[in-house]
A and B are shown apart, each in its own frame.
Chain A
Amino acid sequence: MKGLLIISALGIIAMLAEIFKFKKLLLPIVLLGIVAAYAFNFMEWNTSMSISYFDNMIAFDKMGIAFSGIILATAFFWFILANDYFEEDSNTVDHFALVLFALVGALMLTSFKNMTTLFLGIEIMSIPLYVLAASKKKDLKSNEAGFKYLIMGSFASAFLLFGIALVYGATGSFDIMQIRTYVSANSQSLPLFFNVGIVMLLVAMCFKVSAAPFHFWAPDVYEGSPTLITALMSTVVKTAAFAAFLRLFMVGFAGVSEMWTGVLAVVVALSLVIANFSAAMQNSVKRMLAFSSISHAAFMLMIILANVRSNLSVNALIYYSLAYSFGSIAAFGIVYNVTRNGNQNTDAFNGLAKRNPTMAFCMAVAMLSLAGIPITSGFFAKYFVFTAMITTPYKWLLILAVITSAVGAYYYLKVIIAMYFKTQVAETETIQVEKSQTLVIVLTTLVTLVIGIVPGLVANMFKV
């Protein structure tokens, strides 16, 4: 909770920076703030029970704290990486504030206890992102991205609200624990519109995590937004949305799981197929990563689908989020540097192994991790999904996941082949990456490898 308050305070401080003229100091302040928030967050881990606030609207239990930890750590690295982005134009402080407020929303999502907090969290997180997506004001694609995101996002929010209302109508409560008890007590006499409500919530959440067939916004928004904002969307935002998804369905609707797992299975199947085959056809690296993020969303959804009641799925999702976030931070950091001259296609990576061996190596590790090859963390992430899925009746999904994973290797390898095999056509200038950015990229790559070799560091957070 203190972490959440600190981040909120940072957001306000950021807005004051313009008036009191300490713009230059802002980044160090923010980084310090995040470290402090992380430390407080960490200390709450050791206080045994979850503490709830505001009449049980929000409560930081261990699961929430774990996800908050991932989000704060990713955000810390992101801010170092994004130094450039903030220096680019005049509205620095606004951007700082917007990102920080999005972060506030993300933290709320990890620990909501009440569906109103869920809605608030999603809106607080999304609205700054609509603006940030369009923050390259003179770029048509960026404007398009922001606009599309706004329209589609509002649409999904409407679904979310409608779903909340219907569930409230059926159960008489916004509190997910009370919904859970009510559902298990009256499982026979639930009205039909309760089911409709759940499906609407499912649709809204699937939109937020960009699962097919609610994914159409993702490629355009990912491609159009400034690369670093895309990085933010595919890491922090995604983790938060999945934390919320997991809590809502694992805690709230576990009692009626047979009702929504079927729907979710279809969503997963569609996401796997559409995402991987579309990604294979992309030329633009950013679009490819957008589709790849949809495919990873499908994998994370499988965790929710597989094991609706056990800590196994929490462990798996935490590990997956961490592996995916860190892999993505490294990948997007490199994409940002490589595509600076405006060429966003895979051939921008041609000959990177010669132009900047360190970056090429880190990118190769990130790609192998996203493809799920041992000894990177991506492999264990996939492994946990497979182990969870094999116990369910949805074994066909697993086979589908295997086939589409092989397709997935295709487009990740395309980048590696470009870096190590193709030579650059035009000029052979080396790619200079700022020291701080190199540090972040190398560090995240190291984390990817370390938790891939010693998965026990993260994977056993909760007793199974």
Chain B
Amino acid sequence: MLTLLLITFPLLAALILFLAKSKTSKTIALALSVVEFIIALAAFGLYKHNPDACQLWFNVAWVQSLGIHFNVAINGMSLLMILLTTFLVPLIILSSFKNEYAKEYNFYGLIFVMQMALIGVFTANDGFLFYVFWELALIPIYFICLVWGGENRGAITFKFFVYTLFGSLFMLVGLIYLYNHTNVEGLKSWAINDLYTAGRSLTETQQSAVFWLIFIAFAIKMPIFPLHTWQPNTYVNAPTQGTMLLSGIMLKMGTFGVIKWLLPMVPLGLEKWGATAIGLSVVGIVYASCIAIVQKDYKRLIAYSSIAHVGLISAGILSANQQGIQGALMQMLAHGVSVIGLFLIADILLRHTGTRDVDKLGGIRSMNGNFALLFLIIILGAVALPLTNGFIGEFLLINGIYQFNAWAAAFAGLTVILGAVYMLRSYQNIMLGERKDSHIAFGSLASSDKWVLYIVVIVIIAFGVYPKPLNDIAEESVKQLMLNLK
């Protein structure tokens, strides 16, 4: 029941915002999102206490005759994702306090619709329901980008929408193909375990086909090279909060999808094509990192760095071993938190100085030392320095990939070096040195921005120093998954 509450509460929140059209939508939205986070914490407590708690699953028939069920449940992996989602949404809302949006009640309402769909994706245990939530997540973000985005948003959001829809439809075909091979006492079923069984009963050729049909959808969402072309423009043009949703949470739909909906489904297909997919991921890492180094627009730089990070995550997942997947889960959490901080910094820079151009900025540290320190810690988290949140995930990931193939690990490891190059160089350019443009002044931060940055920094350090509770959850659930992979 608790899971159902987690899904319905954001929907309720969205309705409240849509209908109330209140002038104080910002505050209401923040309060509601905090309530949602508390519900998630309750689920967390319950799970720690008793992992098989029946409050954490909910199952009713949706379309009986087609074997479609509204079947949601929380396991270790989905719990991590839910914690990430419910933790980030309040931060995202808080980070928007300094932005003025027209009809903001719609803006915040859509964020909650998005949250509902995301939690649905992370908890669905029915193939059809998963697809519905997956698609549903696209609609609110599309409108957020379209209505409140930057210049030329029409063409860009459009590419984004068609791209992802294209992938999703292939996934739908793949899932229907599996569904068609299920057989539970003569009936077909959409339940995830039946789909697993059906997938494993297929021949290698069939599994390979299903692997690609489904992987394409996930690869577009993450995005994996060469399907990433929608991403930089969409990230740059979306309103900051939209970018945060896209990179902080929505990207994880893809990686999470691979773990839960692809690996156990088609082991033979993975065996045959896993190496190819890892190859693409690794190419993406190097390619995106190199492009990030020469970016002038700070927001675009983070967008490319996001491609590099997600390439590493996906390579780790596809290597299909304990370290790789566990590292991926850890890195998904870490990346979610860091990237929110980075995008907020890009937004702060734009608001205070009127530009995000790395070359035009400089010497901000001398104007606001406090901001410089917060920025530095977030950067260090992003480049995975030990004792920050990025470290443990990246370490496990590279370890996992190494077990799969040493060369792949060597190239994937470049992400650490190249990441340090573009992150630190941009920091140097923006914060240190002389002021390049004497017109640019940088006053003190708004309190809402400060709060978000403080929270992000605290989490980065706390998570880096003591990752055990989250790591335990990940380890347990990955072990269960590995049983399925054998």
Contacts and interface: CB of A to CB of B under 8 A. Distances in A.
B147 A420 contact: yes
Interface in B268-296: none
B173 A455 contact: no
Contact of A409 (B131, B136, B146, B165): B165
Interface in B135-191: 135-136, 138-139, 143, 146-147, 153-154, 157-158, 161-162, 165-166, 169-170, 172-173, 176-177, 179-180
Contacts of B66: 387, 459
A391 B63 contact: no
A406 B165 contact: yes
Contact of B173 (A371, A402, A406, A410): A402
Given A398-B173, A410-B158, A375 B65 contact: no
22 contacts: A373-B138, A373-B139, A374-B132, A374-B135, A375-B132, A386-B173, A386-B176, A387-B66, A387-B179, A387-B180, A390-B176, A399-B173, A402-B172, A402-B173, A403-B166, A409-B162, A413-B161, A417-B146, A417-B154, A417-B157, A421-B153, A456-B63
A398 B175 CA distance: 13
A375 B162 contact: no
B65 A409 contact: no
Interface of A: 368, 371, 373-375, 379, 383, 386-387, 390-391, 398-399, 402-403, 405-406, 409-410, 413, 416-417, 420-422, 455-456, 459-460, 464
A455 B65 CA distance: 11
Contacts of B136: 374-375
Residue among A374, A375, A387, A405 with most chain B CB within 10 A: A374
Given A386-B176, A459-B63, A368 B162 contact: no
A455 B63 contact: yes
Nearest to B128: A383
Contacts of A413: 158, 161-162
B64 interface: yes
A459 B65 CA distance: 9
Contacts of A406: 162, 165-166, 169
Nearest to A380: B63
A405 B169 contact: yes
A390 B180 contact: yes
B65 A456 contact: yes
Contacts of B170: 402
Main SS of the interface on chain A?
helix
Interface in B433-480: none
B155 to A, nearest CB: 9
A413 B160 CA distance: 12
Given A373-B138, A374-B136, A390-B177, 16 more contacts: A373-B135, A374-B131, A375-B136, A386-B176, A390-B173, A398-B173, A399-B173, A403-B166, A405-B165, A405-B169, A406-B166, A406-B169, A416-B146, A421-B146, A422-B154, A460-B63
Contact of A417 (B131, B158, B176, B179): B158
Contacts of A391: 180
A409 B161 contact: yes
Contacts of B147: 420-421
A391 B173 CA distance: 12
A386 B162 CA distance: 19
Nearest to A416: B146
Nearest to A463: B65
A365 to B, nearest CB: 10
B169 A402 contact: yes
Nearest to B158: A413
A386 B143 CA distance: 27
B161 A383 contact: no
B172 A386 contact: yes
A362 to B, nearest CB: 15
A368 B139 contact: yes
Contacts of A375: 132, 136
Contacts of A387: 66, 176, 179-180
Nearest to B166: A406
A153 B132 CA distance: 41
Contacts of B176: 383, 386-387, 390
Contacts of B135: 373-374, 379
Contacts of B132: 374-375, 379
Interface in B49-81: 62-66
A266 to B, nearest CB: 21
Residue among A371, A409, A459 with most chain B CB within 10 A: A409
A399 B162 CA distance: 16
Contacts of B62: 456
A464 B176 CA distance: 18
A371 B62 CA distance: 23
A403 B172 CA distance: 12
B207 to A, nearest CB: 15
A410 B162 contact: yes
B169 to A, nearest CB: 4
Contact of A464 (B65, B146, B157, B165): B65
